[in-house]
Amino acid sequence: MSKETIKLYDKPYENGFMPTMTIFPCDDKVRGAVIIYPGGGYSHYGSLEQSLVAERFNELGFHAFVVIYSVSPLHYPSQQRDALRAVRMVRKDAAKYNVDPEKIAVCGFSAGGHLAGTAGVLYDRIDSTCGDEYDEASPRPDAMILSYPVISMSGEYAHIGSANNLIGCDDAEKREFLSIEKQITENTPPAMCWITADDKAVNRDNPIMFARAMWAAGRDCELHVFPHGPHGLGLNTEREDVGQWSTLAATFLYTTCKFPRI
């Protein structure tokens, strides 16, 4: 199967925007899948966090999918519905894409990390049904890879820009609900998180809080805090330390999450 881009819905949003998903097949073997959500503060999309990341996961032995989801001026729950819809579609059409339907990971960057995190933590508390055949498939991802992720929408370490773009108003109840470090349950899938200690855009305590909450709930979570590097690194293979994150993520999927090695 060659690369193609598909629409997530039959009709666009009221402002004319149509979320899409681009498929990056690794080969014709049944493999685990990684669904990628680029960052951008819920207002745009990071260019370094799309095809380059998908192609890297292909090299590591995974089928990959890049989702272009709704952003401001569209607000919650549109973004979360898009993320969960993508999981449903990949799982429902797993045979078509040569994907193991029980080995689907979500991978997000910055605000896209928050989106991937909400897909993993809130999959059963946000309605992502559309009244079609994809409703039959579970929206729960089997693993999360959260890269320099926004985690909190309220409190000391909240990323206010992402929160404002996502929620669109100062709604304390929504900000609390979407602070996913507070929403972890015994059904939350395993996670691997990474960030740099001197990230100036997203405070390093975001993934640290998330990891601590995961551990407190008895959930598997791997955490890497690299000493130096700016926000928005993407693959950044030029930095020997940070550049290994994708290999670490693949190892996490193969070992902790038991994704198939082919």
Q: What is the mean pLDDT of the chain?
A: 96
Sequence-ordered strand ranges (E) for 26-129: 31-37, 63-68, 99-109
Q: At what angle do helices 78-92 and 111-121 cross, to 10 degrees?
A: 60
Model pLDDT for residues 219-253, shown as the tens digit of each residue: 999 999 999 999 989 997 788 899 999 999 999 99
**Could you say which DSSP state residue 133 is in?**
G
Give the SS3 label for residue 191. strand
CB 118 within 8 A of CB 169: no
- The answer to whether residue 1 scores a pLDDT higher than 60 is no
Q: How far is 100 from 239, CA to CA, in rounded Å?
A: 33
Model pLDDT for residues 127-142, shown as the tens digit of each residue: 999 999 999 999 999 9
The pLDDT of residue 236 is: 78
The pLDDT of residue 170 is: 83
The pLDDT of residue 111 is: 97
| 40 dihedral zone (left: phi>0; alpha: psi -120 to 50; beta) | left
Burial 66-94, CB ≥16 within 10 A → b, else e: bbbbbbbebbbbbbbbbbbbbbbbbbbbb
